[in-house]
Amino acid sequence: MGEYKQMFINGEWENAESGESIQITNPATGETVGTVTFGDGRDANKAIDAAHQAFASWSRLTARERAKYLYSLSELVKNNRDELAGIISAEMGKPLGEAKGEVLGAADNFVWYAEEAKRVNGETIPSSVANKRIMVLRQPVGVVGAITPWNFPVNMVARKIAPALAAGCTVVLKPAESTPLSAIRMFELIEQAGFPKGVVNLVIGNPESIGKEFIDNPKLSKIGFTGSTRVGKLLMEGAAKQVKRVSMELGGHAPFIVFPDADLDAAVKGLFESKFRNSGQMCICTNRLYVHEDVADAFTEKLVERLKRAKVGDGRQKETEIGPLVNERALNKVLEHIEDAKDKGGQVVYGGNRLVEGDYAKGFYCEPTLIAGVTTDMKISFEETFGPVVPLVRFTEEADVVQMANDTRYGLAAYVYTRDNQRCFRMAELLEYGIVGINDGSPTQTQAPFGGFKESGIGREGGRYGMDEYLETKFVSFGL
* Residues binding ligand NAD (CB under 6 A): 147-151, 174, 176-177, 207-208, 211, 226-228, 231, 234-235, 249-252, 283, 384, 412, 452, 457
Task: Kindly tell me which of 112 and 150 has the beta carbon lying closer to ligand NAD.
Answer: 150
Helix count and strand count (H, E) for the chain: 14, 21
Nearest to 366 by CA among 348, 351, 354: 354
Task: Kindly tell me which of 223 and 471 has the beta carbon lying closer to ligand NAD.
Answer: 223
How far apart are the C-alpha atoms of 269 and 197, rounded to whole Å?
46
User: Around 408, how many Cα atoms within 13 Å sit in the side-chain half-sphere?
Assistant: 32
How far apart are the C-alpha atoms of 369 and 328, rounded to whole Å?
18
Q: What is the dihedral of CA 175, 181, 187, 191, to 10 degrees?
A: 160
Contact 371, 392 (CB under 8 A): yes
End-to-end CA distance of the chain: 64
Indicate which residue of 14, 91, 283, 366 is catalytic.
Answer: 283
**169 catalytic per annotation:** no
> Minimum distance between the CB of residue 149 and ligand NAD, rounded to whole angstroms?
3
Q: Label residue 444 exposed, middle or buried (CB < 10 Å: 0-12, 13-18, 19+).
A: middle
Task: Kindly tell me which of 102 and 249 has the beta carbon lying closer to ligand NAD.
Answer: 249
Query: String of b and e for 333-358 (b: at least 16 CB within 10 Å)?
Result: bbbebbebbeebebebbbbbebbeee
Nearest to 15 by CA among 205, 211, 248: 205
- Could you count the other beta carbons within 10 Å of the beta carbon of residue 237? 10
> Minimum distance between the CB of residue 128 and ligand NAD, rounded to whole angstroms?
42
Query: What interhelical angle do 180-193 and 63-79 show, nearest 10?
Result: 130
Task: Kindly tell me which of 418 and 456 has the beta carbon lying closer to ligand NAD.
Answer: 456
Nearest to 163 by CA among 473, 464, 474, 472: 464
- Could you give the C-alpha distances from 96 to 67, 100, 220, 318, 456, in angstroms and in order? 30, 6, 36, 7, 28
> Minimum distance between the CB of residue 116 and ligand NAD, rounded to whole angstroms?
19
> Minimum distance between the CB of residue 478 and ligand NAD, rounded to whole angstroms?
41
Task: Kindly tell me which of 41 and 168 has the beta carbon lying closer to ligand NAD.
Answer: 41
Q: What type of residue is 442?
A: S
**249 catalytic per annotation:** yes
Task: Kindly tell me which of 417 and 450 has the beta carbon lying closer to ligand NAD.
Answer: 450
> Minimum distance between the CB of residue 477 and ligand NAD, rounded to whole angstroms?
38
Nearest to 158 by CA among 100, 41, 73: 73
> Minimum distance between the CB of residue 353 and ligand NAD, rounded to whole angstroms?
23
> Minimum distance between the CB of residue 391 and ligand NAD, rounded to whole angstroms?
17
Indicate which residue of 91, 213, 249, 455 is catalytic.
Answer: 249
Nearest to 217 by CA among 430, 52, 24: 52
DSSP secondary structure of 376-402: TTSGGGTS---SSEEEEEEE--HHHHH
| DSSP at 27 | T
Phi, psi of 429 (to 5 degrees): -85, -35
Element (H, E) at 25: strand 21-25
> Minimum distance between the CB of residue 461 and ligand NAD, rounded to whole angstroms?
7
Counting every residue written for the chain, the total comes to 480
Task: Kindly tell me which of 28 and 92 has the beta carbon lying closer to ligand NAD.
Answer: 92
| DSSP at 116 | H
Task: Kindly tell me which of 38 and 350 has the beta carbon lying closer to ligand NAD.
Answer: 38
Contact 222, 167 (CB under 8 A): no
> Minimum distance between the CB of residue 262 and ligand NAD, rounded to whole angstroms?
26
Could you give the residue numbers annotated as active site? Answer: 249, 283
